[in-house]
């Protein structure tokens, strides 16, 4: 299968306004001539071509006919809603939170999500153990300012329980017009409602500062997202670092939920020689596509440590895996989120669509990111209690145990 890489994004479905569709998913848009719901029913009834030979639909039609004959409010039955419900049930039976069917209205909203034309609260969300979970709060957003952290569980959105709620449905509920409010009930030990005011989210991309420790000059480089600005901003920062008196480098990917695949490959090229494997795309039949670096490896001259945590996902995991497997760069912090799968968005003629997982991403050494995440070489946990009591300030030396460990390793 050939992909137009310009149409591929990694998206952990986002609840923010940004120039990228978020982390987690690689999406290819595909419009087909699939018939509408009514024609679909007729095709099944008539058992026309392209129906699977080994599937007996008699039970489905027995249930369909029973509802239409016996349901007490059968005069209110909308047959198209029944079709959509059946499709959703079929999709949900896969147990994959990233394979989702969208009815026409929600399909349109999803297009807005991945185009960034909406307001939000600044969190990346996903499923962990079938529970809606915060992957990462985005710096200087309503969620970040309210103290929401990666790993927090979202129990309710306004008054609606998130039990069995799809990620994409949660996104639709959380996002909205800037200036409006949404209440998230958060659980992380205690359970409490947090009211947030939606706003247009501006995501910082790359920042760096010089840290001096024991006569060493360490460039501390934070990458917050892999959006459309990251290539140019990283280039600017990398050139500044190369011209500085830095002799060590720390790359911080904590709470970075991902973004553009091409950007992950381009950034890897600043560390890797040309044609080194950055990531591998593996399909159900075992077919693999290999993505390689195309840079000059200018930053490989520095002894480097890379920081990750549970908020590092998709593009972050791809970059971390590439630098770890190719260069042996040590990873410090906590296990990454574990989201690296490829989705294709199939658009149907009635306006509905199906986002379906078609492949998964592997590190150069063949580890499945989705199945295992990325384990740090040196594990340094930050207790939630310390975060809640403001004992920890991420990115501040002597107040950030993970950063302090990285600094210590570079002495």
Tell me the three-class secondary structure of 152-179, residue by residue: CEEEEECCEECCCCCHHHHHHHHCECCC
Map out the domains of the chain with their CATH numbers: 206-339+361-409 (3.90.226.10)
Q: What is the mean pLDDT of residues 4-22?
A: 36
Spot the catalytic one: 237, 263, 314, 316.
314
- Cα dist from 341 to 3, 9, 203, 317, 334, whole Å: 15, 11, 23, 12, 21
Spot the catalytic one: 276, 339, 355, 405.
339
Q: What long-range pairs does 299-303 form, CB within 8 A, spacing at least 24?
A: 299/238, 299/241, 299/242, 299/249, 299/270, 299/271, 300/271, 300/272, 300/273, 300/327, 302/219, 302/246, 302/247, 302/248, 302/249, 303/247, 303/248, 303/249, 303/410
Q: What is the pLDDT of residue 21?
A: 34
- Evaluate whether 224 touches 233 at the Cβ level (below 8 Å): no
| Residue whose C-alpha is closest to residue 322's, from 289, 287, 282, 276 | 276
Instruction: Report d(CA 179, CA 201) in Å as an integer.
Output: 12
| Residue whose C-alpha is closest to residue 154's, from 167, 139, 144 | 167
Q: What is the mean pLDDT of residues 252-278?
A: 94
Spot the catalytic one: 168, 252, 262, 325.
325
Confidence of residue 388 (pLDDT cuts 50, 70, 90): low
Confidence of residue 350 (pLDDT cuts 50, 70, 90): very high
Active-site annotation holds for 53: no
Instruction: Report d(CA 231, CA 227) in Å as an integer.
Output: 8
Mean pLDDT of the chain: 85
Say how many C-beta atoms besides its own lie within 10 A of residue 69's C-beta: 8
* Residue 96: strand, helix, or coil: coil
Say how many C-beta atoms besides its own lie within 10 A of residue 382's C-beta: 18
Which is more confidently placed, 120 or 299?
A: 299
- Evaluate whether 149 touches 190 at the Cβ level (below 8 Å): no
Q: Could you say which DSSP state residue 138 is in?
A: P
Q: What is the mean pLDDT of residues 43-57?
A: 62
Instruction: Report d(CA 253, CA 148) in Å as an integer.
Output: 18
Confidence of residue 386 (pLDDT cuts 50, 70, 90): low
| Residue whose C-alpha is closest to residue 196's, from 253, 152, 259 | 152
Active-site annotation holds for 391: no
Which is more confidently placed, 197 or 190?
A: 197
Query: Which letter, b or e, does each residue of 15-47 get, where b requires 16 or more Cβ atoms within 10 Å of its Cβ?
Result: bbbbbbbbbbbbbbeeeeeeeebeebbeeeeee
Q: What is the mean pLDDT of residues 350-373?
A: 92
* Residue 196: strand, helix, or coil: strand
Strands 248-252, 304-308: pairing is parallel
Q: Could you say which DSSP state residue 122 is in?
A: S
Tell me the three-class secondary structure of 204-215, residue by residue: CCEEEEEEEECC
Question: Please, what sign has the CA dihedral across residues 108, 109, 114, 116?
Answer: positive
- Evaluate whether 291 touches 276 at the Cβ level (below 8 Å): no
Which is more confidently placed, 38 or 297?
A: 297
pLDDT of 63 strictly over 50:
yes
Q: What is the mean pLDDT of residues 167-187?
A: 92
For the ranges 163-167, 273-277, 391-395, the maximum mean pLDDT occurs at 273-277
| Residue whose C-alpha is closest to residue 202's, from 20, 11, 13, 395 | 20
Record the pTM. 0.71
End-to-end CA distance of the chain: 47
Q: What is the mean pLDDT of residues 199-228?
A: 90
Active-site annotation holds for 58: no
- DSSP assignment of 225-266 equals -BSTTHHHHHHHHHHHHHHTT--EEEEE-TT---B-HHHHHH
| Residue whose C-alpha is closest to residue 318's, from 402, 358, 262 | 262
- Cα dist from 83 to 88, 132, 140, 213, 410, whole Å: 9, 26, 43, 64, 59
């Amino acid at each position: 299968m050939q992909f137009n890489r310009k149409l591929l994004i990694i998206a952990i479905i986002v609840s923010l306004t940004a120039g990228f569709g978020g982390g987690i998913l690689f999406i290819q848009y595909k419009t087909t001539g699939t018939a509408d719901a009514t024609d679909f029913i007729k095709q099944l009834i008539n058992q026309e071509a392209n129906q699977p030979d080994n599937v007996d639909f008699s039970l489905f039609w027995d249930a369909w006919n029973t509802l239409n004959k016996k349901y007490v409010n059968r005069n209110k039955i909308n047959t198209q809603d029944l079709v959509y419900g059946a499709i959703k049930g079929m999709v949900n039976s896969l147990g994959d939170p990233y394979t989702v069917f969208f009815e026409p209205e929600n399909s349109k909203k999803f297009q807005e999500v991945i185009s960034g034309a909406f307001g939000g609260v600044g969190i990346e969300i996903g499923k962990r153990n079938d529970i809606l979970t915060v992957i990462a709060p985005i710096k200087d957003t309503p969620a970040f300012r309210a103290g929401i952290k990666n790993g927090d569980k979202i129990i309710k959105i306004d008054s609606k329980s998130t039990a069995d709620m799809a990620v994409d449905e949660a996104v639709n509920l959380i996002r909205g017009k800037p200036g409006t409010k949404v209440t998230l009930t958060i659980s992380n030990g205690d359970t409490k409602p947090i009211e947030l005011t939606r706003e247009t989210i501006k995501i910082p991309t790359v920042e760096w500062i010089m840290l001096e420790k024991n006569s060493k000059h360490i460039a501390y480089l934070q990458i917050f997202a892999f959006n459309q600005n990251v290539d140019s901003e990283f280039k600017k920062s990398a050139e500044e670092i190369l011209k500085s008196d830095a002799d060590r480098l720390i790359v911080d990917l904590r709470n970075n939920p991902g973004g553009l695949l091409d950007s992950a490959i381009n950034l890897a090229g600043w560390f890797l020689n040309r044609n080194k494997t950055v990531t591998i795309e593996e399909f159900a039949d075992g077919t693999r596509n290999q993505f390689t670096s195309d840079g000059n490896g200018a930053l490989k001259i520095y002894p480097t440590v890379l920081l990750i945590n549970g908020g590092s996902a998709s593009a972050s995991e791809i970059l971390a895996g590439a630098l770890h497997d190719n260069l042996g760069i040590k990873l410090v912090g906590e296990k990454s989120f574990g989201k690296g799968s490829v989705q294709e968005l199939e658009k149907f003629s009635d306006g509905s669509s199906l986002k379906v997982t078609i492949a998964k991403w592997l590190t150069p050494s063949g580890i499945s990111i989705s199945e295992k995440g990325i384990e740090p070489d040196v594990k340094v946990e930050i207790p939630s209690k310390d975060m809640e009591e403001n004992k920890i300030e991420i990115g501040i030396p002597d107040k950030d145990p993970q950063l302090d460990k990285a600094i210590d390793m570079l002495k």
